[in-house]
Amino acid sequence: MDKNTILLVIIALLAGFIGGFMVANSMNRTAVTMGGPMPVNSAGTAGNSNRADDLSPEEIRAKIAEADQNADKFSFQKDLGVALYRYGAMKQDDGLIAESVRILERAAKLEPKDFDVLVALGNGRFDIGFYRKDNDEFEKARTIYLQALALKPSDADVQTDLGLTYYLQEPPDYTRAIAELNKAGQMRPTHERSLQFIVQAHLRQQNIEQAEQALDKLRALNPTSPAVSELTAMVNTAKTGAPK
C-alpha cells in the first residue's frame, strides 16, 4: 500500500468501525468493575484482527517513520498521532498506543493548547497505565487531563477519565475518584458514565446507601440502560452480604 494513503486508511477504518473504537475505550475505562466488564454497545469489533483492510506492521512503521522525518509539521503529528491512538485502542495494542503517545507528545510541544491533542495524549497515557498496571502512567494522564480541562473546564468526559485514574490506580483511591466523578456530574447532570463509576466506587467502600442513591439518579436518566441492570445486581449482592 502506498505510504501516503496509510493515514487515510486508518481514518477510514475508524469511520467504518468507530463502534469498535468506542468498545475498546469503554473496556479501557469501564471494564474494571466489581462483577466484570460493564455492558457496552453491541458493535463489538474491538480486537478484530481479521479485517481485509487491516494495516500491516510494515505499513504502520513506514508512516511512523514519515512522522519522525517531519517532526516540525504539527498537523501531520496530530493527525497521525490521534489516528494511530484510535487504531491502537481498537486493536487493544499497547505498543501502538505507546507509539501514538510519542507522536502526540511531539504535537503537544508544537501546539501546547490543542485540546484534541491533549485529550488523545491523556487517553494514551491512561490506556498504557491500564494495560501495564503502571501508576506513573496514570499520574501522567492526570496531569494532561488537567491541562485539557484548563482549556475546556466543562468537559465531563475528560473529567470522568481524570476520576478514573484514581479509581484504577494501585491501590485505588475511591474517595478521590468519587470527588472527581462528582465534578463531572456537576458539569453535565445527565452524564451517565460518571454515575456508573460513582455507584461502583461506593460499593467498593461498602457505602451501600450512597451507591443506591447514585444508582437511583442513573436509573432516572436512563431506566433501560444495560448498566442499570448490571449495577442493580451488584447493589443487591452487596446488600445481601452486608452485616445485619
**The three-state (H, E, C) secondary structure of the chain, written as one string:** CCHHHHHHHHHHHHHHCHHHHHHHHHHHHHCCCCCCCCCCCCCCCCCCCCCCCCCCHHHHHHHHHHHHHCCCCHHHHHHHHHHHHHHHHHHCCHHHHHHHHHHHHHHHHHCCCCHHHHHHHHHHHHHHHHHHCCHHHHHHHHHHHHHHHHHCCCCHHHHHHHHHHHHHCCCCCHHHHHHHHHHHHHHCCCCHHHHHHHHHHHHHCCCHHHHHHHHHHHHHHCCCCHHHHHHHHHHHHHHHHCCC
Query: Using alpha carbons only, what angle is made at residue 73 by residues 70 and 79, rounded to the nearest 5 degrees?
Result: 100
Q: Are residues 117 and 166 in the same domain?
A: no
Q: Are residues 215 and 119 in the same domain?
A: no
How many Å from the N-terminal Cα to the C-terminal Cα in the chain?
66
CB 3 within 8 A of CB 48: no
Q: Are residues 168 and 118 in the same domain?
A: no
Q: Are residues 136 and 169 in the same domain?
A: no
Q: Which of 121, 166, 113 lies closest to 139, judged by CA?
A: 166
Q: Are residues 2 and 117 in the same domain?
A: yes
Domain region containing 36? 1-152
Number of structural domains found in the chain: 2
Place of cell 451517565: 192
> How far does Cα 128 stand from its chain's mean position?
11
Q: Are residues 50 and 114 in the same domain?
A: yes
| CA separation for the pair 234, 229 (Å, rounded) | 9
Q: Are residues 139 and 160 in the same domain?
A: no
Q: Are residues 165 and 52 in the same domain?
A: no
Q: What is the pLDDT of residue 75?
A: 95
CATH code, 190: 1.25.40.10
CB 81 within 8 A of CB 89: no
| CA separation for the pair 48, 31 (Å, rounded) | 18
- Identify the segments of the chain with pLDDT beneath 50: 1-50, 52
